[in-house]
């Protein structure tokens, strides 16, 4: 089991909000991208900004494209990754957790979302809002 604290943000009316965000490494085609990713139980898939696709040298022109609705009801376009992307979770003193999954790249949005397929269906995840911790169990 690996445990990460929720990350604090300034919310509306200057109140504090806490989100289940974890550090994650993505790897493909010999390239690596490190970032923080929001665990989103309402997302069907893991979604990354389209700029990351170019870092991995992906040409998305021939990949399946879908229009989906976000939480606010706004529509945006996503592209399926041409190959599975390696995901790595590291934490000092713990064994790395690695897996591969298909992700989607969004034309808009800068937040990396970890959704049902490709993340939540791989592990037992406990979102402990009371104690502001994420527990990841293989």
Could you give the C-alpha distances from 122 to 19, 58, 119, in angstroms and in order? 20, 25, 5
Query: 85-103: per-residue pLDDT in tens?
Result: 999 999 988 899 999 999 9
CA distance 63 to 79: 6
Euclidean distance between CA atoms 37 and 25, whole angstroms? 10
pLDDT profile of the chain (138 residues), mean per 10: 94 89 97 97 94 95 87 85 96 92 90 95 96 95
pTM confidence score: 0.91
Helices (H), 1-138: 50-55
Domain that holds residue 95: 2-137
- DSSP percent split of the chain into helix, strand, coil, nearest 5: 10, 50, 40
What is the total count of domains within the chain?
1
Per DSSP, 70 falls in state -
CATH number at residue 88: 2.40.70.10
């Amino acid at each position: 089991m690996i445990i990460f604290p929720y990350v604090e943000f300034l919310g509306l009316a200057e109140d504090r909000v806490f989100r289940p965000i974890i550090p994650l490494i993505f790897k493909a085609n010999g390239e690596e991208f490190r970032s923080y990713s929001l665990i989103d139980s309402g997302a069907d898939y893991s979604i990354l900004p389209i700029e990351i696709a170019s870092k991995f040298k992906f040409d998305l022109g021939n990949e399946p494209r879908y229009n989906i609705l976000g939480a606010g009801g706004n529509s945006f376009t996503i592209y399926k990754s041409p190959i599975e992307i390696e995901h790595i979770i590291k934490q000092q003193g713990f064994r790395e957790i690695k897996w591969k999954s298909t992700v989607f790249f969004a034309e808009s949005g800068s937040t990396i979302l970890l959704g049902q397929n490709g993340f939540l269906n791989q592990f037992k995840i406990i979102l402990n809002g009371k104690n502001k911790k994420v527990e990841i169990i293989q």
